[in-house]
Amino acid sequence: MNLTFKLNTGHSIPLIGFGTYQIRGNHLINETLDYALKAGYRHIDTALVYRNEEHIGKALQTLLPKYNLKREDIFITSKLISQYNKDERFIEELVLKSLDNLQTEYIDLFLIHWPGVNGLQVSHPDNVPYRKKAWKVLCKLHHEGKCRSIGVSNYTVKHIRELLEDCNGVRPAVNQVEWHPHYFQLELLELCKTEGIFLQAYSSLGTSLSTDLRDDPVVGEVAVRLCRSPAQILLRWAIERNVGIIPKARSRDHIEENIALDFEIPPQDMELLDGLRVTSGAKYAWDPDTVV
């Protein structure tokens, strides 16, 4: 399934990506990326804090030739979390370290991972200037071609509006947020659509610590009706809204299952799934709403 979305920078991002959170180690990364590339994934999502960039870079040197692929055939996303009491040069070095780890001259998409500064309270006044500083650095690297597109992650409506007021002439291309039938923000989706920002979902299947989302009876009913797995229903639900997904998986079966989304969910079933936000409202990841 080769669905793409045209970013405001002119580059195309695959709607379906391969998430690598909590997947680390040379052997495991090589094995899972091998499965993913064979299944058709062309977008790899990582981050500095995942501690697997170096393993991904090493694996791609072997796996791309194996599948007759070149660097330009894949899309790589990475992210950074701003550090307290660090200058712009330090932030730039973090991005350059990602480039070195991934053994690439450019990263397709680089995100600010979190609207707050690591180590500070969510209400700390330094969060605002550090967000601005990090964006300024990413803009510089974007203009230099080291980051083809830049964006944010876990930004709420207020954080997006703040950034758009002073974005150094470079608008965010992507906002990556928690998004699934139990928890989604229509106001954020509409704002991103209006401003030309691609919304990308993480935790589409919940988390490894909870199966509540995948075990939801309504999700199960729709899955049975459409002869699909609950995971496929949850992932396709996002695709129906043109929201990108980056599900992670370790087994070959799950990796193949997560990209087999060439079907449609009927409007009446989409309504049932949308209604879960009211009946459940469960959030499974960190909450940026209180970050000043």
Q: Measured between alpha carbons, how far is 217 from 139 in angstroms, rounded to an integer?
A: 45
Q: Measured between alpha carbons, how far is 202 from 220 in angstroms, rounded to an integer?
A: 20
Are 135 and 168 within 8 A, CB to CB?
Answer: yes
The conformation of residue 71, written as its DSSP 8-state character, comes to G
Active site residues: 50
Q: Measured between alpha carbons, how far is 189 from 197 in angstroms, rounded to an integer?
A: 9
Give the burial string for 22-32 (b: 16+ CB within 10 Å, else e). Answer: ebbeeebbbbb
Beta bridge partners of 189: none
Q: Measured between alpha carbons, how far is 274 from 30 in angstroms, rounded to an integer?
A: 37
Closest CA to 151 of 7, 272, 6, 285: 7
Q: Measured between alpha carbons, how far is 138 from 150 in angstroms, rounded to an integer?
A: 7
